[in-house]
Amino acid sequence: MLKDIALIRMLATAATLILILATSPYAQSSDSSRAIDTTVVDTSAAAGSTDVEIPDEADESIYPMSEERKAKLASYSRFNHIWRFVNLFIGLGILALILFTGLSARLRNWAKKAKKKFLVVWLFMILLLVVDYLLNFPFSVYRNFVVESNYGFMNQTFWEWLGQDLLGLGLSAIIGIIPMWFLYQVISKYRKWWLVFAIGAIPFVIFFIVIAPVFISPLFNDFVPLQDQQLKTEILDLASRAGIEGSEVFQVDASRQSTKLNAYVTGLFGTKRIVLYDTMINSFTLDEIKFVMAHEMGHYVMHHVWYGVAMVIIFMALALWITSRTITVVIRRFQRRFGFERLGDIASLPLIMMYVTVLMFLFNPAINSISRYMEHQADTYGMNISGVSGESAAVAFDKLAVYNLSDPDPPAIIEFWFYSHPALKKRMEFVRSYVPN
């Protein structure tokens, strides 16, 4: 769950955490075309010197793309385009089931055995998370394990995958209670609860987006200082040109889970760090890595993460406002079936989750348009700082498409609605025509 740290993924996860008050699998299912923040390319040696082209077994068969891989890319893309919609309806269907069968009310009754109010809320949230997890489990196994394995991305056994999935569930059960408790406190106290919650949630959002990845990601992967000294020097050199002082460069064993490529810059003050996936170190040339890292530094320098925080708060406020204006009518209409009469009853949580799921889906185009613009800015910045442009930069995108099986040229409506990054074909055209300054 936390291995995709692209900007929007973090936003979506944080928004989901805050809004849905726990990470629900369907709201942030892994989906390669969204996950990619980076961009780079080339066949370099295995974790060692990065600018020497020594194709290892894996590289040889992957880049440049064979006819067989082209067919795979097409079918993986088609699958992802369809899955986005299937996933939405699975998520909503499960929540509707929990609501309309009165299960949510029954879970609340069980939770009430805990007596203390805080514990009742927590227990209810955990019960709901577990029920939701179990109902979603077959779909989650299919999408996140079976499909990923079929396309050759999976580097984990089923049990390793399950272990980490359960770790994610456990973390949600621990962390989710804070925003959830806060939400029901403000619902019972304020008429304009949507506004109070949105403002009060600012520290949570900052925590989830900016700080938590630094502490949570190490639970899933090992982070070690970048081993390749030459590469490290080059990256630190880029960082000082970008004005990012005092950062550390880490490599993460992302290959433990998946063969997909990525990189990011995250953190705040003492937690600032530049992170490279080992999968990328093994597959990209020095120039390609420099371009990608400069792109990531661009996000950092241009404060994109703070725009992201602002965006989450604004869209969350909007979603909750719409919810507050309409949800009581729905509750009144179905109160006998739901088994609760007031929004302030914690049994209403699945209904709030349904609202948020639908509204965030509708907000996708707006959020992703802003994100694509920031990605474009980061591409420009990346070329200016690294001096890598034209064909070398284009190859980075090409490799990204090939390694991650991302559709370089998706249908326009799919890009508009779901892509947090411009289509790779557009990014390639741009870097080929741009002259760095």
List contacts with Zn ion (CB under 5 A): 37, 375, 378
The least distance separating Zn ion from the CB of residue 378, rounded to whole angstroms, comes to 5
Give the nearest distance from C-beta 295 to Zn ion in angstroms: 6
Report the residue number, 108 or 304, with the smaller CB distance to Zn ion. 304
| Closest approach of Zn ion to the CB of residue 49, in Å | 26
Residue number of the CB closest to Zn ion reads 37
| Comparison of 375 and 407: residue with beta carbon closer to Zn ion | 375
CB of 382 to Zn ion, least distance (A): 9
Q: Which is nearer to Zn ion, 51 or 375 (CB)?
A: 375
Q: Whose Cβ is closer to Zn ion: residue 283's or residue 380's?
A: 380
Cβ closer to Zn ion: 34 or 143? Answer: 34
Closest contact distance (angstroms) between CB of 421 and Zn ion is: 7
Min CB(368)–Zn ion separation in Å: 13
Give dist(CA 156, CA 168) in Å, integer: 16
Least distance to Zn ion from the beta carbon of 385, Å?
14
Peptide bond into 436 cis (omega under 30): no
Question: Is the CB of 37 or the CB of 165 nearer to Zn ion?
Answer: 37
Comparison of 37 and 278: residue with beta carbon closer to Zn ion: 37
